[in-house]
């Protein structure tokens, strides 16, 4: 990770950086510790402020420290030093009916209470989103649009929006055209329509374990069954287990999130995505790919989508701008491959078409709003928030707690000691004005009773740290 240092004698700032670097390596300065302030170091070593700043920038480049707004420089946590990761999941291999909606609604209702710190909600802080700019764009398209925008749009949605999504698909390893895309009400409608397009009530759908509860609710509402497949916290669904499940029974479709899975944060390597698509293609099994977190890698290039490897039009790619720009706009899309006509038809029978002006505002932002610049900014924020939350969990949660180490998105999956029952913990925590995503929500059966999802979508403020402390204390008492 750390490059060999060049000759440094004649560079004061490099000497300085070298000293701090050694303090970190030896563990004198530990992850999360504040490094000495610029002023203090400059006084102690009798060097200029500029020299210290240059030293800190060098250490930042090396990934050793990080700046926190209005707070100074801190040693960057390195995941591996702190906590163990949860193991690959081992769900039962049976198809079963889903019953998570009631639990989901119970939790959703706690969200209405503004005094509760929602550690579980998979939402980005509005502060991190370009809300003002988007509202300005919406105002502007509304003013510019004549009466003609006040009409029923075709079910597929406005071409301006579809064109921008098609353009961006190049970044995902695809080359979609506007005609390949159907606009939807967020990613949820995209998955709903996709699933209904390829499967019918009673059909078995393979899902990751754990998986996003929204997917389970769609399966439940559609009268389908879920087959959980073991999933690695780092690399996603186990393809061998999927193959076994497919041999064992008819699987009508697979729903998964290869990029920064919810709740695991798992990133399926591109080679594995390719193998997955090829294996399903041999059996003609449609793959519904949820890419809602795909733009949110913490570093490196944007990962490809599984659809990039789709030669038979069997992948239905679903996405939205809800995690990157605007949850309140409800703008999503689906690229349904060979099922496009059916998805369009179901779109009509579900919501007719999407609201026109929000689509136009998002299209405008994607075209001229500096989306890439914005992404760079929020990726950095999410990465930092995830690290700070990770640290806090390490600090406040009971011994034996395990946590995932996601490479993107803003979710953590936490395994508590077996004695903890998170549904009981949930009730106690909400009494103390803290909520989280209890594990059983992420499985069709009440599995994961000692697991929870923690979201890091908000800047890590003292209020959040306090909530984590409360939660850790309650978990420790169990």
Residues lying near a copy of itself in the complex (CB under 8 A) are found at 101-102, 104-105, 108, 111-112, 121, 123, 126-127, 129, 131-132, 134-136, 138-140, 142-143, 145-155, 185-186, 188-189, 192, 196, 200-201, 214, 217-218, 220-221, 223, 322, 326-331, 341, 344-346, 348-358
For residue 390, give both structure tokens: 């990770």
- 158 vs 297, beta carbon nearer a copy of itself: 158
CB nearer to a copy of itself: pick between 341 and 372: 341
Whichever of 27 and 201 has its CB closer to a copy of itself, that residue is 201
**CA angle, 380 then 386 then 389, to 5°:** 140
For residue 454, the minimal CB distance to a copy of itself (Å) is: 17
Q: Which is nearer to a copy of itself, 51 or 359 (CB)?
A: 359
- Nearer to a copy of itself by C-beta: 329 or 396? 329
CA distance linking residue 258 with residue 232, whole number of Å: 11
Residue placing its CB nearer to a copy of itself in the complex, 217 or 262:
217
Query: Which of 83/318 has CB closer to a copy of itself?
Result: 318
**Closest distance to a copy of itself from the beta carbon of 181 (Å):** 15
- Distance of closest approach, residue 316 Cβ to a copy of itself, in angstroms: 16
CB of 52 to a copy of itself, least distance (A): 35
Residue 305 vs 356, nearer CB to a copy of itself:
356
Smallest distance from a copy of itself to CB 245, Å:
24
Quick count: other Cβ atoms within 10 Å of Cβ 150?
9
Q: Give the Cα separation of 259 and 248 in Å (integer).
A: 27
Closest approach, Cβ 108 to a copy of itself, in A, equals 7
Region class of 270: left (phi > 0), else alpha (psi between -120 and 50), else beta = alpha
Distance (Å, whole) CA 251 – CA 381: 39
Q: Identify which of residues 69 and 301 has a Cβ nearer to a copy of itself in the complex.
A: 69
Q: Min. distance of Cβ 17 from a copy of itself in angstroms?
A: 38
Nearest to a copy of itself of 292, 429 (CB atom): 292
Residue 357 Cβ vs a copy of itself, minimum distance, rounded to whole Å: 6
Minimal distance in Å, beta carbon 18 to a copy of itself? 43
Residue 219 phi, psi dihedral angles, 5° rounding: -60, -40
Minimum gap (Å) between residue 185 Cβ and a copy of itself: 4
């Amino acid at each position: 990770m750390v490059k060999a240092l060049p000759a440094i004698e004649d560079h004061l700032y490099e000497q300085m950086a070298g000293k701090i670097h050694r303090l970190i390596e030896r563990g004198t300065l530990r992850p999360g510790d504040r490094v000495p302030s610029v002023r203090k170091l400059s006084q102690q070593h009798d060097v200029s402020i500029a020299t210290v700043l240059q030293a800190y920038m060098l250490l930042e480049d090396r990934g050793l420290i990080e700046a926190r707004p209005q707070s100074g420089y801190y040693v960057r946590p390195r995941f591996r030093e702190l906590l163990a990761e949860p193991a690959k999941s081992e769900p039962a291999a049976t198809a079963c009916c889903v019953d998570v909606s009631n639990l989901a609604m119970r939790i959703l209702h706690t969200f209405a209470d503004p005094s509760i710190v929602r550690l579980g909600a998979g939402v980005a802080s509005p502060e991190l989103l370009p809300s003002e700019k988007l509202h300005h764009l919406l105002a502007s398209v509304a003013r510019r649009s004549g009466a003609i925008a006040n009409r029923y749009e075709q079910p597929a949605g406005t071409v301006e929006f579809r064109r921008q999504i098609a353009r961006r698909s190049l970044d995902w390893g695809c080359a979609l055209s506007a005609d390949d895309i159907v606009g939807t009400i967020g990613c949820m409608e995209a998955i709903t329509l996709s699933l209904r397009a390829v499967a019918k009530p009673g059909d078995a759908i393979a899902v990751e374990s754990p998986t996003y509860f929204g997917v389970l609710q769609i399966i439940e509402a559609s009268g389908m069954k879920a087959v959980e497949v073991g999933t690695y916290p780092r690399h996603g669904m186990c393809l061998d287990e999927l193959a076994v499940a497919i041999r064992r029974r008819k699987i009508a479709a697979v729903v998964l999130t290869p990029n920064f899975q919810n709740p695991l944060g798992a990133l399926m390597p591109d080679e594995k995505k390719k193998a997955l698509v090829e294996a399903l293609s041999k059996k003609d099994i449609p793959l519904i790919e949820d890419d809602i977190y795909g733009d949110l890698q913490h570093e490196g290039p944007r990962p490809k989508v599984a659809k990039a490897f789709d030669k038979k039009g069997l992948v239905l790619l679903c996405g939205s701008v809800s995690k990157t720009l605007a949850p309140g706009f409800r703008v999503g899309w689906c690229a349904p491959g060979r099922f496009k006509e059916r998805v369009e038809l179901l779109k009509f029978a579900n919501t007719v078409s999407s609201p026109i002006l929000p689509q136009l505002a998002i299209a405008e932002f994607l075209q001229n709003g500096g989306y890439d610049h914005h992404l760079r900014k929020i990726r950095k924020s999410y990465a930092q928030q995830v690290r700070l939350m990770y640290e806090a969990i390490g600090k406040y949660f009971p011994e034996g707690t395990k946590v995932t180490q996601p490479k993107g998105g803003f979710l953590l999956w936490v395994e508590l000691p077996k004695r903890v029952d998170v549904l009981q913990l949930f009730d106690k925590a909400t009494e103390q004005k803290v909520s989280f995503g209890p594990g059983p929500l992420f499985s069709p059966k009440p599995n994961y009773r000692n697991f929870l999802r923690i979201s890091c979508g908000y800047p890590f403020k003292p209020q959040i740290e306090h909530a984590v402390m409360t939660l850790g204390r309650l978990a420790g008492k169990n």
